[in-house]
């Protein structure tokens, strides 16, 4: 059985009429709403001076930092500027990481985008692979081998736009400093 309560607005100092009792449902609803509001406020308030939890650092980040100094000496020798004597094409190897990934810039004579570059050791020799991705260079590649006796890179250049392969040689650009 449902009961309904008649709620009359409070108009200043008027006294409620004598025959009515306060509505228990209205009192309960007001009490319940105030409890819910207080709980919501308490839950939403936290300590404002608490710092957010520190982000977790992957284990590999610490490991990579300690191994970054361990670059194969064969790869370190590749760092420098290399020029093809048949046209002024320049490969600048700026750096190498322990896995053999190379930081390379290529110029003809303007910069050409290098999409990937790597060094690897195979059968006692140091090899370099460079892929170009730019206008007129849709995946052209250099596959080179380092010759420590002549301090040169030699190998093949695949010109993707023409689907042709050329034998090439790069000599280190001497700038007064001894090679690494």
| pLDDT tens per residue across span 30-68 | 444 444 444 444 444 444 333 333 333 233 333 333 344
Helix, strand, coil abundance in the chain, percent, nearest 5: 20, 35, 45
CATH superfamily of 69-172: Avidin-like (2.40.128.30)
- DSSP class of 92: E
For the chain, how many residues are written? 180
* Exposure letters 135-151 (e unless 16+ CB within 10 A, then b): eebeebbbebebeeeee
166: which residues sit within 8 A by CB, 6+ positions away?
Answer: 156, 157, 159
Which residues in the chain come in under a pLDDT of 70?
1-69, 176-180
| pLDDT tens per residue across span 123-137 | 999 999 999 999 999
Residue 69's pLDDT is: 60
Output the average pLDDT for the chain: 74
């Amino acid at each position: 059985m449902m009961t309904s309560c008649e709620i009359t607005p409070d108009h200043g100092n008027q006294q409620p009429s004598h025959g009515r009792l306060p509505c228990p449902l209205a009192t309960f609803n007001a009490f319940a709403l105030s409890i819910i509001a207080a709980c919501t406020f308490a839950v939403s308030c936290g300590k404002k001076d608490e710092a957010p939890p520190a982000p977790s650092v992957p284990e590999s980040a610490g490991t990579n930092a300690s191994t970054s100094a361990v670059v194969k000496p064969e790869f370190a020798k590749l760092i420098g500027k290399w020029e093809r004597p048949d046209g002024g094409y320049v490969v600048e190897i700026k750096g190498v990481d322990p896995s053999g990934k190379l930081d390379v810039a290529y110029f003809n004579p303007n910069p050409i985008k290098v999409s990937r570059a790597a060094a690897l050791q195979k059968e006692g020799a140091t090899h370099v692979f460079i892929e170009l991705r730019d206008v007129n260079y849709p995946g052209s590649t250099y596959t080179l081998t380092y010759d420590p006796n002549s301090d040169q890179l030699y190998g093949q250049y695949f010109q993707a736009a023409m689907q042709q392969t050329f034998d090439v040689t790069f000599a280190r650009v001497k700038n007064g400093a001894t090679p690494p």
